[in-house]
Structure 1
């Protein structure tokens, strides 16, 4: 702890350890849990960065540091999904430290002890130190408290000492990283010519006419795209199709769901509980002992009750209602008491007739329509049917039913009518609010009665027998499926199974489509689960039955992708559409090139699909044609033409265009381009951190083998 010793020579004060938690966020990394089935192997590296192996123990140490950080900050152990994200964080931290360190060494960048001291108690204090030792009341940073804290660090518990040691160890690499990125950022420069062009592009405008032939007017079936053409397109655009390692699988899920017998078994036990519940002397104690996720008995108005309980109003004190089955759970409700509540509640239905506008005429029309509907209901028409036919809000699907609601939740005019009613039934007059005209039917008049409800809930869980049956079905499926062909045949033969495809699974993925916690399945796809040895999986191999939550999953490997440029198969649908558009563009351009005369004459000569339109105030720097979208090539070409001059046919984003400027508005001469220069420089600087990281990562030739262990 060289830094501590250096600082202590300059310190003379002490303070408690209450701020250690705020310093811990500087300690990056991950946490390690689980078992490694490769401990017996000689190769214990989890990867390679810039030619340097990252050993398992090194990675584990980083994970363990972050484990303590996570527990201290969150107050809980991380779950498996969180661990996956944190493992990625740990890997990225090691990548940063190793790959960037080589850059630091090549440039001779160093951080002296004096700099580090300055970052803790000098003129350039680190932000985390400043935050930790700033008075929350005054907002003032107190360097004396820092010195006091460091002076007494050796008297603190070992955990506090280790935490600051970790913080100290991270100061130097962080400072080196800041120096390095600042060197590159300071090289960002915008020339006067660039700033002038930027200003001009934002101000120059053109009004134009254009002939447009959409790609969709040419039938897809008329053009055949070959794999050779797709490969040629990928080769021409390699930068757009860089990929990491990937695996594709097909899989089926066999759910472990409660059967009718399971439900009957649970209902029998809940019926027994209902009898015991009715005789229980202390409802809260009974709920605590017998309910899943128990809650204390509470007073509820009808507006806040479960619907099944509301249907039994008025309720009887001491009576147990239920069991009611809903969403896989049986519920029992015991009424422990009743009293007059503070707020009234009521239930009503309505039919809202809105005006089509804000004029007196549209308001009068809405009122007349509402009066007509009200009279139909008075004459015997069904209220719910009228609501579905004439209602204009979201309650039409429920026949206008608003359910129970407490006073204070609706607009004043509506509430006055509902809570002013003394009995159920149709209100004789329309009620006007800011939303329109309402026809109102009181389903249950206002009441202030509330009931103390004690609730017992039991979920309907599959029994061991049901789970065993699902497991046996999964094993039977596994026995039938030995390769891709037999896997597909087995799925097709069982109508209860549905095959799902997952493409391009990454090495670090935690989920497969909507299957959460599917890390073991991903590791299997990469041959790194230990069942066959790393890399042993091949196309057509069938997985064991994985238990993921309440389901078993069996998969077959259908595709492998290695890091580099995407192959034809992995991007075929996307690139096929792009190549097809290129072929369509050539076809359309050839036909348009033969047409002569005005844009209208060219469109007429082309035939169906060609259309002539106008676009005003098209801005060079935005590259958008109103009503058409982004068309940068066509917009750029328009600014290079004279007024009245037509362009050659242009292959655009949506189709082929011929543009003709009608008038142009050049950008006014800018006396000062400093603002544009600053804006462009800020944009480039903002992208620098990400670009620097990606460039060094690419140069480091990273090999990630974490799937061997995690």
Structure 2
């Protein structure tokens, strides 16, 4: 990531940040006072390990994170970026208050040598590598990291560039410490020989079984009544299985805002006038800067043009007004002013990079031989893009080796640049090009060209006008005013088929989405407001290109789990228990019959008799019942020829008979099974450690009330 260059390009952002800081300083008393958003000192966004996170403190950290983000990225934080920053600040607080205690207790630190190595040494951090990899070539050069760091360190202390760099360094070091902690937890996992033996036997021992199976679905749901009292009792006895969560459910109507016919006509008239004015203005470049919705260069190389313009420019003549040309919802008028020669050449090329496995002569010779073989196939007519996808060893392979456009300005390593710009025309270079990165097979797809086209471009975007927005808002506001309850909203929707009632169920606290609609945080915050009750209808919210009217239809709380929070799941389980009682009672009187076929015949409709062979405890599947763990356990718990009493399984009731069993043969070495079990534990241990730390920290998150 070219931090310095991006910061220079976006220097206006720095001015904006300073201005905002001054405004906050001047009017901070009003914004943060007793009547402001964060006026009360008791307002808190959460609790972590006994530490109260006040709204004011969280906002300060968020403001700092925003400055750091904009310094690193060179662009203003939009709504999506702010949502990610809020999550990052919260996670940083979790580390500060919950995780660092664990780090300190274990003595986990990073040495100065490690801190240096992850940026400039042999083991570069993936984030550093990604940020400083050339997107065109897929090549990482740590010298760029060093140069960037040195340039930033020469700037005044506390400059926005230094703030961005320091945040970048801090986040990477913190990530390494977190990874070290998780890896330490993983390395502490252990699988005993007894556990490995158990896994081996569960996978290897086999059994043949025969059973009567009466699935729950054989009894119609409508014949089994479930009472609220039964649901409450079941929930009380299984409360550990049903963890509460703070969620809200909404029904809502979205009034979409789209350009109207009048907006299209107005844009057409505007573009007609733009074309006339552009033709006669004495200073067309200034006119474009003031009137274009999208910035454009004044002199264009072919790499600056989309395919549409690249084709059209062939027919342009000096002074010509062309267009409008459409790209998505953007319409552009061009004025052509001729061409000139640039001091730099531009070329478009593709390559296939073959790297040596290491720096030994043998490895290099092997890589060269492979590259020469590929070059030979290409000379014989093989498809370059396909060969690049199969053989390329850098980031360009996935796009057929395409490097895009580049210039002879040092953006490529010297041998590569010399070979490409020394080649005339297009096509496959006849010889390999060796660089520090390996052996390159290169194809020039567009010949070098230093021609620049003077094209003044004015772009206008088709969007809804303020009048259109006002009209849609008026409809949404009238709808909200006329319908003050969910029942009234439902009636209005039935009456007007053009209005669609949408549902968003179980929205988690802190979410910013309504189904697939993003940036809907204002609606979610309204739903979570303490003053909003079930049945309340909201005011009109603007979300993206729509106006939303919502009604709160449900609440759940992590502190107070109710039957309604899990009514469907609880009803299904209680109903199956009641069905099981019916089936068990009926089968109980038949269990002594001599054959399972007789049991099924006497039971009647719904009873199945099935036989399965060579099932294992770990991977056994019963024909109709699937992988029922209770039934599989019974199968391997019975002696050959022994028949079970009726018992309840996952999806129905069984009487099971084990016909034959083959124990797992004894083996001397369980290493294979021990390794597999250990790998499974390793994959889960990091997650479980994180969950344990957060649970122990008694984390309470109230951010949804503020953001």
Q: TM-score range by the shorter chain?
A: 0.5 to 0.7
1:579 deviates by 2.0
**Alignment equivalent of 1:567, drawn from 558, 562, 570:** 562
How far apart in 1 are the matches of 2:98 and 2:192? 32
Q: Is residue 662 of structure 2 the alignment partner of residue 680 of structure 1?
A: no
Change (3 A) 1:556 1:238: same
1:697 deviates by 1.0
Is 2:41–2:54's contact at 8 Å kept on the other side of the alignment?
Answer: no
What residue in structure 1 maps to residue 580 of structure 2?
585
Q: Is residue 524 of structure 2 the alignment partner of residue 522 of structure 1?
A: yes
How far apart in 1 are the matches of 2:175 and 2:463? 52
How far apart in 1 are the matches of 2:263 and 2:501? 27
How far apart in 2 are the matches of 1:241 and 1:707? 23
Where do residues 362-511 of structure 1 align in structure 2 (5 Å cutoff)? 461-511=463-513
Structure 2 gap ranges (5+): 8-16, 25-30, 135-139, 296-304, 313-319, 335-382, 384-456
What residue in structure 2 maps to residue 450 of structure 1?
none
Of 90-99 and 259-268, the range deviating more from structure 2 = 259-268
How far apart in 1 are the matches of 2:560 and 2:43? 29
Is 1:209–1:613's contact at 8 Å kept on the other side of the alignment?
Answer: yes
Q: How many residues end up aligned between the 2 structures?
A: 530
What secondary structure, in the 3-state scheme, does the structure 2 residue paired with 1:624 have? Answer: coil
1:237 deviates by 2.7
Q: Is residue 706 of structure 2 the alignment partner of residue 709 of structure 1?
A: yes
How far apart in 2 are the matches of 1:175 and 1:299? 47
How far apart in 2 are the matches of 1:38 and 1:537? 18
How far apart in 2 are the matches of 1:171 and 1:131? 8
Is 2:539–2:549's contact at 8 Å kept on the other side of the alignment?
Answer: yes
How far apart in 2 are the matches of 1:247 and 1:237? 23
**Alignment equivalent of 1:633, drawn from 617, 630, 633:** 630
How far apart in 2 are the matches of 1:642 and 1:526? 58
1:63 deviates by 3.5
Q: Is residue 533 of structure 2 the alignment partner of residue 538 of structure 1?
A: yes
1:243 deviates by 2.8
1:323-359 alpha-carbon deviations (Å, 9 max, x no partner): 99x99999999xxxxxxxxxxxxxxxxxxxxxxxxxx
1:89-147 alpha-carbon deviations (Å, 9 max, x no partner): 32122112211234455x4x4457xx62242368998954699699999xxx9999999
What residue in structure 1 maps to residue 227 of structure 2?
226
What residue in structure 1 maps to residue 515 of structure 2?
513
How far apart in 2 are the matches of 1:586 and 1:167? 62
Is 1:17–1:156's contact at 8 Å kept on the other side of the alignment?
Answer: no
How far apart in 1 are the matches of 2:94 and 2:165? 23
What residue in structure 2 maps to residue 603 of structure 1?
600
Change (3 A) 1:153 1:321: closer
1:169 deviates by 5.5
**Alignment equivalent of 2:548, drawn from 553, 576, 601:** 553
What residue in structure 1 maps to residue 50 of structure 2?
51
What residue in structure 2 maps to residue 100 of structure 1?
99
Is 2:72–2:164's contact at 8 Å kept on the other side of the alignment?
Answer: no
What residue in structure 1 maps to residue 253 of structure 2?
252
What residue in structure 2 maps to residue 190 of structure 1?
191
1:690 deviates by 1.1
Is 2:185–2:686's contact at 8 Å kept on the other side of the alignment?
Answer: no
Where do residues 256-267 of structure 1 align in structure 2 (5 Å cutoff)? 256-258=257-259
What residue in structure 2 maps to residue 89 of structure 1?
88
Is 1:111–1:175's contact at 8 Å kept on the other side of the alignment?
Answer: no
How far apart in 2 are the matches of 1:556 and 1:38? 25
Structure 1 gap ranges (5+): 1-15, 22-30, 302-317, 334-407, 409-454, 528-534
1:69 deviates by 5.5
1:529-558 alpha-carbon deviations (Å, 9 max, x no partner): xxxxxx222222221101123321111222
1:224-259 alpha-carbon deviations (Å, 9 max, x no partner): 112222223323332332132111222112233455
What residue in structure 1 maps to residue 62 of structure 2?
63
TM-score, reference length from structure 2 = 0.62
Is 1:19–1:132's contact at 8 Å kept on the other side of the alignment?
Answer: no
1:263 deviates by 5.9
TM-score, reference length from structure 1 = 0.62
What residue in structure 2 maps to residue 439 of structure 1?
none
1:357-405 alpha-carbon deviations (Å, 9 max, x no partner): xxxxxxxxxxxxxxxxxxxxxxxxxxxxxxxxxxxxxxxxxxxxxxxxx
Change (3 A) 1:662 1:180: same
1:461 deviates by 4.8
Is 1:20–1:164's contact at 8 Å kept on the other side of the alignment?
Answer: no
Of 492-501 and 685-694, the range deviating more from structure 2 = 492-501
How far apart in 2 are the matches of 1:560 and 1:492? 25
1:470 deviates by 2.2
1:573-618 alpha-carbon deviations (Å, 9 max, x no partner): 2221222222222222222222223121111111122222222221
How far apart in 2 are the matches of 1:514 and 1:232? 37
Is 1:274–1:323's contact at 8 Å kept on the other side of the alignment?
Answer: no
